[in-house]
């Protein structure tokens, strides 16, 4: 399956769709504060396991930092 992840092409072999939660595991995103958008739509953390990413979707994963 081919998607765009953070403005770069990504090919995930042997799948036709993947959940946000599984993508985070696959790409080893482990930062505790993430903001995720699929095709411009924000995905709540509570929906990571049930929200599916499909071929050609544009996915943005941002690490949220706080500071002062």
C-alpha 32/C-alpha 34 separation (Å) is: 6
For residue 67, is pLDDT > 90?
no
The DSSP result for 1-58, as a single string, is -EEEETTEEEE-TT-S-EEHHHHHHHTT---SSEEEEETTEEE-GGGTTTPEE-TT-E
Q: Where are the domains of the chain?
A: 2-63
pLDDT range class, residue 1, cuts 50, 70, 90: very high
Question: pLDDT tens digit string along 10-66?
Answer: 999 999 999 999 999 999 998 889 999 999 999 999 999 999 999 999 999 999 887
CATH number of the 2-63 domain = 3.10.20.30
For residue 68, is pLDDT > 70?
no
First and final C-alpha spacing in the chain: 40
Strand-pair partners of 5? 8, 59
pLDDT at 51: 98
């Amino acid at each position: 399956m081919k998607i765009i992840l953070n403005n770069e092409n990504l090919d995930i072999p042997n799948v036709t769709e993947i959940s946000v939660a599984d993508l985070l595991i696959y790409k080893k995103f482990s930062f505790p504060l993430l903001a995720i958008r699929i095709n411009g739509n924000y995905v709540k953390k509570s929906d990571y396991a049930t929200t599916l990413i499909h071929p050609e979707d544009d996915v943005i994963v941002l690490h949220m930092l706080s500071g002062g």
